[in-house]
Structure 1
Amino acid sequence: MSSQIELRATVSAQLADLLEGYFYETQSAHWGIMQKERTDPYEVFGFFPDTATADSELGLLQEEFSELHEDFELSRIEDSFWQNAYKEFVTTWSDRRLHWIPLWERDSCKPPAGSAIVYLDAGMAFGTGAHETTRLCARRLIDYLDSSEEALESLHIIDAGCGSGVLAFSAAALGCSNIIGFDFDPEAIRVCSANAKENPHIQAPLFEVANLTDGLLDRNADLLLANIQTDVLIPHSEALVHAVRSGGCIALSGILTKEMDVVERCYAQQFAKLRPQDSLTLESRNDGEWSDLLIKLS
Structure 2
Amino acid sequence: MKWIEISITVEVAVIDEMAAIFNDIESNGYIEETIENNPNLSCVTIYLGVDKDEEQWKQVIETALQDANISYRDMVSKTVNDEQWYHSWQQYIMPTRLLPDLVICPSWQSYDASTDPLATEQDVVMTMDTKLSFGTGDHETTRNCATLLGKYIHRIPVDLSQQVCLDIGTGTGILLLAAHHLGIPNLVGIDLEEEAAIQAKENCASNGIEATIIHGNLSDDFYGKAHLILANLTVDPLKILLPMIREKLHDNGILIISGIVDDRYDEIMPYITNHWTIMEEMVEGPWHTFALA
TM (norm. structure 1) is: 0.80
**Counterpart residue type for residue 55 of structure 1:** E
Summarize the alignment of residues 202-241 of structure 1 with structure 2, pairs less than 5 Å apart. 203-217=209-223, 219-241=224-246
1:115-148 Cα offsets, whole Å, 9 max, x none, are: 2433212234432122222222111112123566
Residue in structure 1 matched with residue 274 of structure 2 by the alignment: 269
Equivalent residue of 2:94, what SS?
coil
Residue in structure 2 matched with residue 32 of structure 1 by the alignment: 30
Note if 1:184 corresponds to 2:192.
yes
**Counterpart residue type for residue 65 of structure 2:** F
Moved more, 157-166 or 83-92: 83-92
TM (norm. structure 2) is: 0.82
Residue in structure 2 matched with residue 119 of structure 1 by the alignment: 127
Note if 1:283 corresponds to 2:280.
yes
Question: Once the 2 structures are TM-superposed, how far is the Cα of residue 231 of structure 1 from its aligned partner?
Answer: 1.4
Residue in structure 1 matched with residue 166 of structure 2 by the alignment: 158
- Output the CA distance in 1 between the equivalents of 2:160 and 2:174: 18
Residue in structure 2 matched with residue 92 of structure 1 by the alignment: 95
Residue in structure 2 matched with residue 19 of structure 1 by the alignment: 18
Question: Once the 2 structures are TM-superposed, how far is the Cα of residue 168 of structure 1 from its aligned partner?
Answer: 0.9
The alpha-carbon distance between structure 1 residues 263 and 226, as it changes in their structure 2 partners (threshold 3 A), is same
Is residue 3–residue 82 contact of structure 2 (8 Å, CA) maintained in 1? yes
Note if 1:44 corresponds to 2:44.
yes
**Counterpart residue type for residue 267 of structure 1:** I
Moved more, 144-153 or 111-120: 144-153
Summarize the alignment of residues 40-119 of structure 1 with structure 2, pairs less than 5 Å apart. 41-47=41-47, 53-66=53-66, 67-72=70-75, 80-94=83-97, 95-106=99-110, 108=112, 111-119=119-127
- Output the CA distance in 1 between the equivalents of 2:7 and 2:113: 29
1:69-107 Cα offsets, whole Å, 9 max, x none, are: 422356787865543221222122213112221112235
CA-based RMSD: 3.1
The alpha-carbon distance between structure 1 residues 247 and 230, as it changes in their structure 2 partners (threshold 3 A), is same
Question: Once the 2 structures are TM-superposed, how far is the Cα of residue 259 of structure 1 from its aligned partner?
Answer: 3.5
Residue in structure 1 matched with residue 264 of structure 2 by the alignment: 259
Equivalent residue of 2:240, what SS?
coil
Residue in structure 2 matched with residue 194 of structure 1 by the alignment: 202
- Output the CA distance in 2 between the equivalents of 1:123 and 1:109: 26
**Counterpart residue type for residue 126 of structure 1:** F
User: How much identity, in percent, do the aligned residues show?
Assistant: 22
Number of corresponding residues: 281
- Output the CA distance in 1 between the equivalents of 2:170 and 2:16: 24
- Output the CA distance in 2 between the equivalents of 1:8 and 1:216: 39
1:150-191 Cα offsets, whole Å, 9 max, x none, are: 543221111011111110121112222101000111111111
- Output the CA distance in 2 between the equivalents of 1:79 and 1:209: 23
Equivalent residue of 2:151, what SS?
helix
Residue in structure 2 matched with residue 274 of structure 1 by the alignment: none
The alpha-carbon distance between structure 1 residues 100 and 181, as it changes in their structure 2 partners (threshold 3 A), is same
Equivalent residue of 2:105, what SS?
strand
**Counterpart residue type for residue 84 of structure 1:** H
**Counterpart residue type for residue 45 of structure 2:** F
- Output the CA distance in 2 between the equivalents of 1:125 and 1:107: 20
**Counterpart residue type for residue 156 of structure 1:** V
Unaligned runs of 5+ in 2: none
Equivalent residue of 1:117, what SS?
strand
The alpha-carbon distance between structure 1 residues 42 and 62, as it changes in their structure 2 partners (threshold 3 A), is same
Is residue 197–residue 213 contact of structure 2 (8 Å, CA) maintained in 1? yes
The alpha-carbon distance between structure 1 residues 292 and 119, as it changes in their structure 2 partners (threshold 3 A), is same
